[in-house]
Amino acid sequence: MSALAPAPPPETLREVSRTIRELQDALEQLDVSIEKPSRSARLSRWLRNNRSFTSVTTLVFLMGIAAGSYFLGLRIYKLASAKVDTRVAAAFEPAKQELQSVESNSRRLEGMMVILQSKVLVQQIAALPASQLREHREELREARTQLAAVDADTPGFWPTTFQLITLLSRATSAVETEKPKEIVVSNVSNIPFAGELGERVVLVGQIKNVVFNDAVVRLDPEVHLENVTFNGCVIIFPNTTKPSSALREIATQLLSSNLPRATIRGS
Q: 207: Cβ–Cβ under 8 A, 6 or more apart, which residues?
A: 185, 187, 188, 189, 223, 224, 225, 226, 228
Taking each helix axis as running N to C, give the angle between helix 245-255 and helix 157-172, from 0 to 180 degrees, rounded to the nearest 10. 50
The region of weakest confidence among 92-101, 151-160, 194-203, 243-252 is 92-101
pLDDT tens track for 54-78: 555 555 555 556 655 666 566 666 6
Residue 121 — very low, low, confident or very high, per pLDDT cuts 50/70/90?
very high
- Domain definitions of the chain by residue range: 109-264
**Residue 101 reports pLDDT greater than 50:** yes
Contacts of 125 (CB under 8 A, 6+ apart): 133, 136, 139, 140, 167, 171
- Which band of pLDDT confidence, cut at 50, 70 and 90, is reported for residue 108? confident
